[in-house]
Amino acid sequence: AQSVTQPDIHITVSEGASLELRCNYSYGATPYLFWYVQSPGQGLQLLLKYFSGDTLVQGIKGFEAEFKRSQSSFNLRKPSVHWSDAAEYFCAVGASNYQLIWGAGTKLIIKP
């Protein structure tokens, strides 16, 4: 079955520290992979996407993600987080039936 797993419901990181949010997927074909961010009270915004080619993709706001086919993972990283990065982050895979399959989200908390 197609699925996306974000193992961490919450992550707390100190401002200025590095960040890695985990995402594992289960999908039979070549996946289209996405990371979205949702700030409090807002809709979701696309951070970055992977379709093919270079497995390290750059996104907005200084985020990057690495696709690892052997691990079925698409982890999101940022070298140094800012207080404004506090938000909920969603990983998704593009399914063939016009839909995205969503992870449950990881809430990022930034410690001053």
Partner 1 sequence: NAGVTQTPKFRVLKTGQSMTLLCAQDMNHEYMYWYRQDPGMGLRLIHYSVGEGTTAKGEVPDGYNVSRLKKQNFLLGLESAAPSQTSVYFCASSGGNRGQAGYTFGSGTRLTVV
**Minimum gap (Å) between residue 39 Cβ and partner 1:** 10
**One of 25, 34, 67, 74 touching partner 1 (CB under 8 A):** 34
Residues 44-73 interacting with partner 1 (rule: CB under 8 A) = 44-46, 49, 51
Q: For residue 27, what are its two tokens?
A: 């999908």
First-residue to last-residue Cα distance in the chain: 41
Q: How many CB atoms lie within 10 A of CB 108?
A: 21
Helix or strand run (H / E) with residue 37: strand 32-38
Should residue 22 be labelled a site residue for partner 1 when binding is judged by CB under 8 A?
Answer: no
Integer Cα distance of 102 and 97 in angstroms = 14
**Minimum gap (Å) between residue 76 Cβ and partner 1:** 15
Q: By CB under 8 A, name the binding residues for partner 1.
A: 9, 32, 34, 36, 41-46, 49, 51, 90, 92, 94-96, 98-100, 102-105
